[in-house]
A and B are shown apart, each in its own frame.
Chain A
């Protein structure tokens, strides 16, 4: 994705260090997730959406993002996490994946962290709300476990019903 810096010492400020990436972490219920920050376009407050007819329940609807129609997915409904209630902390993470703009509702965003490749451990074989193929790995930040999610694979996946599936 981004050019790997040859001399990390002089580029500390940009925090792009060889072999690592920056991740945006957010919470869904009691779990904490991280996604590649380069896929994040912006973070917005939740505002009223327009319902899409006959759409799956986790697709709340669409919003007008400066003239672009953007579908909004409620990640909590999608993964049956948390109560899917709207609090002042509830935000919409606008993502840029696979050439599409999609919004994801999360309970709150926590932080932007830098993780080197080594810090991300492969996920163990378990069944989670999130299908294993969408988990890049697990990372520990200050005793907290962060699930690193392959958001692009998730959003373009079949069960998201965001894209037309070839018949």
Chain B
């Protein structure tokens, strides 16, 4: 498996995206209405955490994954209304967010994050989630934990000289209000060396050797239900707390730090009513943000990562693309006008040519803004394959070819899920277990090849495996069971597409890898929604290949312009197999089935565009025009048109933004002369054609 590829270029994207997610999490959290949280906000929070979790795992930052995992669990429970949202949860989420932010900066070359702080926040989040907290376990410190605590003392040593604190906490084993949660102990351990001196019926005594300020220790108890009874005694000569951080949760009387005998009560306000007086959590978001960031000067000093790219909203890019498209049209109209009115002097001609070159270059550059290498979708798969192979006990070698092929960003985003499904399928259903492979004389290690390349105006992505191939008999049996009309001697090319039928799974057992959830029908639907096509080829014992053909971008398409009567329509090139001039003797009428045309022995249904659209064609008989053989959802169909006009790259324009859906039309485009042409949806045309004499007559 190619793990050694250069990940740095993707990491930059990860950094940017995570920073964006973190920023949005912060703003949502700060604007959250505790008593009446907006479910949409909760979902957005959850999604942000989930995205960071997923991508950090992919890019190999397990520390961030760990934190987001706990955070995500908490948010998920809140989101599902399993636990009510509290200020504590918002605070903890914000703190977790800050830790993530620090981690993120650490990965970008900043200072390393204090691992203890990470543990503390995870523990805190877990406690809020309501995961079982083993009280006793927290009280006893294993040798290993002691070591790590000691190590933590060292990491904190830079903040000052360690001093010894005596801490007395009210304690009652059977009263949940007077219990010491493990999160408290864990947090204290992050501050320094902690020893449990002993406990009696009433209180527990702890000794903490730490360089931390009293305030930081106070913080450990800020969520303790009876925090006001916690007594922290600094030893003689302890310096007063230097950092007077305005805590929003509690008012810590800071002036008393000089007197070692005066205990320092910490006020916590578990009731919301009290809370609102002392802590304007929601009202003063700026303050929260400042106080939440742990004051670690060495991290603040870390230089921000250099900006190597800017994030621009896709809307702006689309607007730019639109405008450039307009410019190209204006340019070509200008050229046409100049030529038509024979105004062209040599100078003007040269300058028009120059304008044309410049506009083309501008257009290409602008289009390339949206293009990304397909590796953005591919790079997650080595990890997926590794995990899957481990889970299934198979040996898999994933080869990726052509990952640098560029594809529209929108396509890449939407292709990842279908690819994910196909690769899972290949590994789960396609590849055999190592011993089966040895038995049939194959390398015990199966191979999955994921490749991408340009072919004509489209990008082809293939998922190939050298497994056992599709099982023809089982697919046919399943199809019969489902009531799909099949016959045993159907050609393979018609059998394989059956697996795209909804709810079609031949998996003998449903595993947690595949066999349930989204099926191949969803894969096909997703790909077709991108204007692409899926093909399958398979050979028993040798493996299967799934070929996905995608348009280069969602905004531009290669089209053939055709003339029907006075109208010009565009047919997507990817749909066209060939064009032929028919002879009347090949066209036959089938009773009740309309017309068919014999193309080299194959009878294809014939549909006439002018009949479906109720317009008048120039051709009076079939041998006047052209038959285009197009690939549709309903198989190959011959489409009768008057003439072929030419091939263009067309910009796809939505009709539905200002009008309703038009049957048989997928979109519109603007031609070189500024006029509008409709882009045909051949699959829908075929369906309309098969319905009989077109749609209802025009109103």
Chain A residues packing against B (C-beta within 8 Å): 48-57, 61-64, 66-71, 100-102, 161-164
Contact = CB atoms under 8 A, between A and B. Distances in A.
A164 B654 CA distance: 14
Interface string B497-526: 000000000000000000000000000000
Interface stretch (B178-186, B287-295, B344-352, B667-675): B667-675
A51 B567 contact: yes
A64 B659 contact: no
A48 B568 CA distance: 14
Contact of A54 (B653, B654, B656, B662): B662
Given A53-B613, A54-B614, A71 B665 contact: no
Contact of A162 (B615, B659, B676, B678): B659
Contact of A101 (B326, B613, B658, B664): B658
Contacts of A50: 567, 668, 675-678
Contacts of B677: 50
A63 B676 CA distance: 6
Given A54-B695, A71-B659, A164-B660, A66 B675 contact: no
Interface of B: 322-323, 325-326, 566-567, 612-615, 653-665, 668, 670, 674-678, 695-696, 698-699
A50 B665 CA distance: 13
A53 B658 contact: no
A52 B662 contact: yes
Contacts of A55: 662, 698-699
A62 B567 CA distance: 13
A73 B428 CA distance: 56
Nearest to B322: A67
Contacts of B654: 69
Contacts of A101: 658
Nearest to B699: A56
A78 B614 CA distance: 21
Contacts of B665: 52-53
A34 to B, nearest CB: 24
Nearest to B665: A53
B676 A56 contact: no
Contacts of A67: 322-323, 325-326, 653, 670
B326 A161 contact: no
Contacts of B325: 67
17 contacts: A50-B675, A51-B566, A52-B662, A52-B678, A53-B662, A53-B665, A54-B614, A56-B699, A63-B676, A67-B323, A69-B653, A69-B658, A71-B658, A162-B658, A163-B660, A164-B660, A164-B661
Given A51-B567, A56-B698, A100 B662 contact: no
B678 A53 contact: yes
A6 B654 CA distance: 43
Contacts of A70: 658
Contacts of A66: 326
Nearest to A52: B662
A64 B658 CA distance: 12
Contact of B670 (A51, A64, A162): A64
Nearest to B325: A67
A54 B613 contact: yes
The 5 A-B pairs with the shortest beta carbon distances in the complex, nearest first, are A53-B613, A50-B676, A164-B660, A56-B699, A71-B659
B660 A62 contact: no
B661 A69 contact: no
Contacts of B661: 164
Nearest to B667: A69
A41 to B, nearest CB: 12
A23 B412 CA distance: 49
A67 B677 CA distance: 12
A1 B670 CA distance: 34
B659 A69 contact: yes
B613 A62 contact: no
A61 B678 CA distance: 11
A69 B657 CA distance: 8
A163 B655 CA distance: 11
A117 to B, nearest CB: 31
Contacts of B658: 68-71, 100-102, 162
A100 B657 contact: yes
Given A62-B676, A164-B660, A54 B670 contact: no
Contacts of A51: 566-567, 615
A53 B614 contact: yes
B649 to A, nearest CB: 16
Contacts of B662: 52-55
Instruction: Among A48, A55, A57, A64, find the residue whose CB has the most chain B CB atoms closer than 10 A.
Output: A64
